[in-house]
Structure 1
Amino acid sequence: MEPAIILVRPQLGMNIGMVARAMANFGLSDLRLVAPRDGWPNPDAGPPAAGADHVLDRAQVFACVGEALADCQLSYATTFRPRDLMKPVMTPRAAAAAIRSSHGKAGILFGPERSGLATDDIVTVQTLVTIPAAPSFASLNLAQSVLVLAYEWFLAQASPLAAAERIPAPHADLAGLLAQLNEALAAAGYFHPPERTRATRRTLAGILSAARFTADEIRTLRGVVRALARPRNP
C-alpha cells in the first residue's frame, strides 16, 4: 500500500507542484495538504508539476495533522533537527523498507519550507526520518526531501514476513485514546501545576505513540480508562 505524502502548512504553490512531480516519478499519488498557506487549489502548482496533474487533482486538504493521519497505522515525520522526544529515528531507506513490508497505511509528514515541522506536529508520530546529508550544507528543499523518500519507497521490496506483522491502530484511534485519557486525568486533578499541562500531555502522547498499540489494544485501554474514571459507590 502506498504511503500518503503529507505536506504540513506548505507555503508556495510551485513547491506543491514540484512535490507532485516527484511523487509521480516513483508511483505515488496520495498527496495530503495540511492548512496550505495560500489555500487550495493553487494555480501556481500546475506548471512545475510537469504533467503530474493526477496527483494534484486527487490532493486532499485537512485542517490539522491529526486529521491528515487519521486513517494511517504507521506515521513518520521528516526532520533534520535533533528532537528531545523518545522516538526511533530511521534513514529513508529503512523507513521505506518498513512501509513496503507493512499491510498498514503509512503517512509521511513534511514540514513548511522555512521552519520545518513543529514539535506539536510530530508528538504523536511513531518514527522520525532523517535524510543523511553533508553537515556543512544539510539543506534540502521540500520537493527534494519528498523525492528521496519516494525513490527509496520505489526501490524497496516487500518483505515475505509481512503477513506476521503487528499492525498499529490508525492514528485516529490513538487520538481518541489520548483525548479520553487527558479528559479523565484533568477531572482527577492530575495536571498540576497548570502551566505544565501542555508539556505533560506531550509526554503522554509520546509514550503512547511509541508503543504502536493495535486497534484491539487501544479498545482495551479505552475500557480501562473508562472504568477507572467511573464514580465509585461509597
Structure 2
Amino acid sequence: MSKPKIILVEPAGTLNVGSVARVMKNMGLDQLVLVNPQCDPHASEARQMAVHGIEVLERATIVPDLPTALKGCQRAIATTSRSRTLPMNLESPRLALPWLLEAQISSALIFGPEDRGLSNSELNYAQRFVGIAANPEYPSLNLAQAVAVCVYELYQTSLQKNLDTSNSCANLQGEEVTTFSSVSVDSASLDTIEGYYQHLETVLLEIGYLYPHTAAARMEKFRRLYYRANLTNEEVAMLRGILSQIQWAIKSNRS
C-alpha cells in the first residue's frame, strides 16, 4: 500500500511539528511536508518532542505553497472542522482515509495552520474532506492531536489490509473498516488537473461564460465536479485538447 504524505500548511508551533513527526513514526509514516512553516522545524523544542521520530523531522520537505506540496499526488484529503460556504461532504477519518492507501496511488493528507485551519482556497486542492467528531462544547483539537487521530486510523486500516495473525496487534482490530473500489492507477496527478483548471478558467473567461468577479466561486463548483470524476491522464489530455480547439476557433473567427 502507499504511504500518504502528511502536509502541514504554515505550522506555527515547533512543539506541534515535533509531535507530528513522533506520531508519524509511531504509525509507520515518513513523508512530512511543511508548507511555508512559521516556525523553525529544526529547533531544539521540535527535536525534543520528536523523540525517536527525529529522522522524520530531519527528512521533512519544506515547500513555499500547497500546489508544490501536492506535486505528483493523485489523491488528497483535507481536514477541516468549520462550517464553510464551500459545498462539501464532510466525512469521518475512518470512512474517508482508507481511500489514500490503495497500491500505486500517490496521496496526501492536508492539515491547516493552528490559528485558522485551511482556507477555502486551500481546500480547493483536495478531493475529499475529513472532520473529527468531538465534544461540541469544545470541538477544536490541537494540530498534533488531529494528526494523531488521523494517522492512527490510517495505521489501523493498513493492519486490516495486511492482517498478520502472528502479530499481536492484529487482535486489537475493532469494527471492520469501509473499503473502496479500486480505480485506475493512471489517475491524473493533482498538479496535472490543476493545469487543466487554469486552462479551463482562461477559456471560460475568454468566451464570456465566466466573469472576473464570480470566476472563483464558479471554478470551485467545477473542481468538485471533476474531482468526483477521478480523471485519468488521457482524459485530462482530451479535455485540454477541446479547450485548445476552442481557442483556435476563436482566433480563426477573429482573423
Same fold? TM cut 0.5: yes
1:101–1:158 CA contact under 8 A, matched in 2: no
Among residues 211, 217, 221, which one is paired with 1:199 in the alignment?
217
User: Quick check: 1:40–1:61 contact (8 Å CA) kept in 2?
Assistant: no
Q: Give the structure 1 partner of residue 193 of structure 2.
A: 174
Root-mean-square deviation over aligned CA pairs = 2.2
Q: Equivalent residues in 2 for 1:8-23 (5 A)?
A: 8-23=9-24
Letter in 2 for 1:151: Y
Q: How many residue pairs were aligned?
A: 232
Change (3 A) 1:11 1:216: same
Which residue of structure 2 lines up, in the alignment, with residue 216 of structure 1?
234
Check if 1:186 corresponds to 2:189: no
1:158 has 2:161 as partner? yes
Aligned to 1:56: 57
The question of whether the paired residues in 2 share the 8 Å contact of 1:6 and 1:68 is answered with yes
User: Residues 164 and 36 of structure 1: is their aligned pair in 2 closer, same or farther, counting only changes over 3 Å?
Assistant: closer
Contact 2:91 2:131 in 1 (8 A): yes
* Residue correspondence of structure 1 range 59-70 to structure 2 within 5 A: 59-70=60-71
Matched residue type, 1:198: A
SS of 1:231's partner is helix
How far, CA to CA, are the matches of 2:125 and 2:103 in structure 1? 19
Kept in 2, the 8 Å contact 1:87–1:210? The answer is no
Determine whether 1:138 maps to 2:157: no
| Change in CA separation of 1:87 and 1:102 when aligned onto 2, cut-off 3 Å | farther
Q: If you compute each CA radius of gyration, which structure gives the higher value, 1 or 2?
A: 2
Structure 1 CA distance, aligned partners of 2:48 and 2:41?
15
Unaligned runs of 5+ in 2: 163-178
Q: Secondary structure at the match of 1:147?
A: helix
Report the Cα offset of residue 90 of structure 1: 2.0
Residue 33 (str. 1) matches residue 37 (str. 2): no
Identity value in percent = 32
Deviation at 1:220, TM superposition (A): 1.2
